[in-house]
Amino acid sequence: MARATAGTTSDIDLLLVKDDDVPDELWDAQLAKLADDISKWTGNDARPVTCSASDLARRRGEPLFAEVLADGLTVCGQRSWLQRQIGQA
């Protein structure tokens, strides 16, 4: 996750939430391209973590989501949406 503490050897962690209506094949292709583009732009490895929108409520107790909300930077979308989905709004 983005913590604003990156160095030249840091990887870039991303939490990406997949809309349930997006076909898996399209998602996988876009995800691979994004990870490749990020690595080319920054010289750092991209480490995407993905979750479907419908999975968020089931996974709400996982430490990952608390870490994202505590330390992560929102790059796209609304932080409040994620908070509502995992029951921390």
pTM recorded for the entire structure: 0.79
- CA–CA gap between residue 29 and residue 48 (Å, rounded): 13
Instruction: Assign 3-class secondary structure to 42-66.
Output: HCCCEEEEEEEHHHCCCCCCCHHHH
Res. 2: pLDDT tops 80: no
Res. 19: pLDDT tops 70: yes
The one-letter amino acid at 25: E
Select the more confidently predicted residue: 73 or 9.
73
Res. 7: pLDDT tops 70: no
